[in-house]
Chain A
């Protein structure tokens, strides 16, 4: 017998997974199914030289959580020629005032955000940008928003807004350029479940 086959002995006596292990793994997978996976990566090329397969849809956004209609701030929009778009409006309550950010996740294309004016310092804020990073679930959920914001009478400033946790969590607004807009942080309620 080949020496390598002797190692098959190591299979003896290994017990099957417990019901509890199975249940926990099932819950873990369910949370992955419900989480926002972002873009599906393109398939890798086969070694035999066949044409590289590009992933079926470059950016499938799988939801956020169950059906969009279940969430007050998450909504689904269908526009002809654009595919399904999931949007979320997230109220942010900071030390200098409040504002909303609207996230937009098209089925294919660039994920983007824009700010909606609120109160205090942000009563007349405008701007938006792209969402280069989003992922995780529940308290570990995080989204990084990059773009530009403009306050009234102020110059356009490049900013990064980091949003963490759902359904409730925090946000941090960090200007990357000097200007009237200052660093701020506070709470947000994204009301995504999962």
Chain B
């Protein structure tokens, strides 16, 4: 049985045989789509995920990954997301106020209502308070499970910069989570009990 080629081998081979890039798509489309869905909603995720892979194919010769190309793909997706950061910010604002996350497709609407916790609403408020690059780094860390080094690769910045961004994101989160619950009743109840 032939060994399964690694991501890097597939990308290298796609320079000669473009079809080889389809393996990258098959392996990582789901993960990239879920990341984009979480950040920008399903409709935009459909569009941006497709664009991410088309763009990745065009730029495959500049891929510097040494193992998985997923961080590189997340980096492209994150850059594409910058065009829609206002939409993301609006959504986070709404989420922090209502506690109901409308961009997540729950199978049961009741679950959506009950699952919206006060903590999530405050986290959304913290994300709104962060600078875009700090938010990018944080969500690559938390949603995409990337290490600091992988985030640096994805965003094309030094690891030290990633550490700085995440440190500042942490401070913002601490500050927002420490806000007195009474100051924002809707955010802290989280669940819309009246439906």
Interface residues of A (CB under 8 A from B): 2-18, 21-22, 24-26, 28-29, 31-33, 37, 40-44, 46-47, 55-57, 60, 62
Contacts and interface: CB of A to CB of B under 8 A. Distances in A.
B58 A37 contact: yes
Contacts of B63: 43
Contacts of A9: 117, 119-120, 123
B14 to A, nearest CB: 9
Majority SS at the chain B contact face: helix
A44 B54 contact: no
Nearest to A8: B142
A29 B14 CA distance: 13
Contact of A44 (B45, B62, B111): B62
A46 B117 CA distance: 44
Interface string B38-66: 10001001100111011001111111100
A17 to B, nearest CB: 4
Nearest to A32: B54
Interface of B: 12, 15-16, 18-19, 21-22, 25, 29-30, 33-34, 37-38, 42, 45-46, 49-51, 53-54, 57-64, 101, 104-106, 111-112, 115, 117, 119-120, 123, 127, 138-139, 141-143, 158, 166, 169-170, 173-174, 177
A18 B104 CA distance: 14
Contacts, number: 136
A13 B62 contact: no
Contacts of B177: 3, 6
B61 A43 contact: yes
Contacts of B15: 40, 55-57, 60
B50 A43 contact: no
B49 A40 contact: no
